A and B are shown apart, each in its own frame.
Chain A
Amino acid sequence: MSGTETAIVVDEIPVPFKPGQTILEAALEAGVYIPHLCAHPEFAPHGSCKLCTVIVNGRNASACTLKAAAGQEIEVDTPDLHAYRRTLVQMLFVEGNHFCPGCEKSGNCQLQALAYDSEMMTPHFVEFYPHRPVDASHPDVLIDFNRCIQCELCVRASRDVDGKSIFALVGRGMASHIVVNSPSGKLGDTNFSVADKAAHVCPVGAILIKRVGYAVPIGERRYDLEAISEEASRCAGEEVR
């Protein structure tokens, strides 16, 4: 049997896949990096950030939700898609209050890492500067909604892994935002724990563990040392993060 029945072609490289795998899963396992933000290997795909958009046989598709299938010819690393992804990242930056110099997540932030990777020199669009209060009511965890990108990873982790359903996304369009499931709306009034999966999946600096923010100095952090695409290629086949 020829390999083409169990392989897709990503940027002219044959990439094997197992039945049921998405394009993103197959590519990452083979060391072919596709930028992604709201996708996480431990959770059902969400398909909302659109950073993993690729061209499959001439049509745009989200690599995190589309299953790999024989005969797919996929474009990932093209100048057009590169510019498109950078525009998406820029829109995420202006929609929230992303002040990297004042953020403890800087250097470990996937949004920032993807911005570095797409050579974003400026957020380009007019800043929204939204008003989003901080929730510091929990003894061990801080939520800074200013940096939330509404990827719903905390929603998925709290619901599917922790079994607590502490977070939810409410509202529509520009009014969408994350809420906390307690009568006061404060995290301190829930049974949320620092040991919960949901405390550790935030790709940006929205859900932060207190008192450890600067344990690793700025400049020596994960994406300071290695670009997110290089890390993904180096760690291919290991547990995908």
Chain B
Amino acid sequence: MSESAETPALPKVRIATTSLAGCFGCHMSFLDIDERILDLMKIAEFDRSPITDIKHCSPCDIALIEGGVCNAENAHVLREMRANAKILVAIGACAINGGLPAMRNRLDVGDILNEVYRDLDGVQSHVPNDPELPLLFDKVYPVNEVVRVDYFIPGCPPSADAIWKYLNDLILGRMPRLDHSLLHYD
């Protein structure tokens, strides 16, 4: 009797990803794992992600969050993913400390909108106010100031090797660690 007939296939690890107030650079870096994604797909599948274009998150094992929280839609998406994910990972500088978008935090958000949409020459004369547009927050918040975060992968972006190592550790149940060569904030 073959072993495979007796051993039921392990359920695949479900991974959800999203980019909030980020630049998709962390997702690009994730895709830089190149052909290793084929190995990953043998044991994992994607839930909500730009890769699948699924719009809402369902129960999953790992959620990778890129970007900080700059508006109401970011907060909704983040909370939905937190509610569904067993492990939530903040990935990249923006998710971890707000990153470059958070450099607006010392300015008043009303002043910024007026400057960009009303006062600059050659632009429209009012701040956009369509109900479909998510409400901007006063500040850009790191992910861990909005929901509980289980793990953090710093970097701008973290290298493909760092993401690969971390994901492997998580999936295989090891204590995830990045050594000096993989740990970078820039």
Contacts and interface: CB of A to CB of B under 8 A. Distances in A.
Contacts of B180: 116-117, 227, 230
Interface stretch (A28-36, A73-81, A101-109, A177-185): A101-109
A121 interface: yes
A100 B185 contact: yes
Interface string A89-116: 0000110011111110011000010011
B102 A101 contact: no
B110 to A, nearest CB: 16
Given A100-B185, A116-B180, A116-B183, A122 B100 contact: no
B96 A123 contact: yes
A1 interface: no
A101 B145 contact: no
A218 interface: yes
Interface residues of B, number: 28
A122 B90 contact: yes
Contact of A99 (B97, B106, B139): B97
A94 B96 CA distance: 11
A131 interface: yes
Interface residues of A, number: 30
B152 A122 contact: yes
A127 interface: yes
Chain A contact residues: helix, strand, loop or mixed: loop
Interface in B151-186: 151-154, 156, 177-178, 180, 183-186
Given A112-B185, A116-B180, A126-B145, A121 B106 contact: no
A126 B3 CA distance: 52
A230 B178 CA distance: 16
Given A100-B93, A122-B90, A218 B144 contact: no
Interface in A122-141: 122-124, 126-127, 129-131
22 contacts: A98-B97, A100-B93, A101-B186, A106-B186, A107-B186, A115-B185, A116-B180, A119-B177, A119-B183, A121-B178, A122-B90, A122-B144, A122-B149, A123-B97, A127-B97, A127-B98, A127-B102, A127-B105, A129-B139, A218-B186, A227-B180, A230-B180
Given A106-B185, A117-B180, 8 more contacts: A101-B93, A116-B185, A119-B177, A121-B151, A121-B152, A121-B153, A123-B97, A219-B186
A-B pairs, 5 with minimum CB distance: A101-B156, A100-B185, A122-B152, A121-B152, A106-B186
Interface of A: 93-94, 97-103, 106-107, 112, 115-117, 119, 121-124, 126-127, 129-131, 218-219, 224, 227, 230
